Amino acid sequence: MRPLTGQVELWLDATPEQVWDLLSDVTRIGEFSPETFEARWTGGSTGPEVGARFDGHVKRNGVGPTYWGVCTVTACEPGRLFEFSVGQKDLVMNNWGYSLAERDGGTLVTEYYRLEPLLFMRLYWRVLGGPRGRTDERGMRITLERMKAVLEARR
C-alpha cells in the first residue's frame, strides 16, 4: 500500500523569509492551488500562529465536489516551517505543511501532506491512494511553481 504521505520539493530564487511570508498568508492560496480557491482566517485569528484557525474552500480535483475545510495551524516557525491540520479538533483527517531550507542562495521548499492513520483513511487510501496521491503531488508541484513565479518576478 502507498504510504499515507507525499511531498514535492522545488528550489525558489527567494529568501526563506520571503517564501514564508507568501505561503503562510492563507488568504492568497487561491492564486496558487489548483484545488483550494480561497481561504479566510476564522475564530478571531488574523494571521499565522500556532492554534490559529482558517477555513479553506476546496474544489476537489479542480472539478468538485466543493466544500469548506476547517484548518488549524499546528507549526509556525517564520522562515522555516508552516503546517496545519484539516478537520475538527477531535477528528483530524490530514495535515499539510511547508518546510523551508536556505540553499544555494535561495530556498528549497518542501510541500507535504500526511493523512492520519485512522481506519477509514487507511481503507480510502488502499482503494484510491494511487490516483489521489498522484493528484496531490501534481497539485503541490503546481502550487509551488506558481509561488515561484510570483516570488521570482519580484527580483
pLDDT at position 2 over 70: no
**pTM of the entire structure?**
0.93
Looking at residue 120, what is its pLDDT? 86
Please tell me the total count of domains within the chain: 1
pLDDT tens digits, 123-155: 988 888 888 889 999 999 999 999 999 999 987
- Whichever domain contains 111, its CATH number is 3.30.530.20
Range of the domain at 102: 5-153
Measured distance CA(84)–CA(96) in Å, rounded: 6
pLDDT tens digits, 69-104: 999 999 999 999 999 999 987 899 999 999 999 999
Q: What are the Cα distances from residue 93, in Å, to 5, 102, 105, 152?
A: 12, 30, 36, 34
pLDDT at position 1 over 70: no
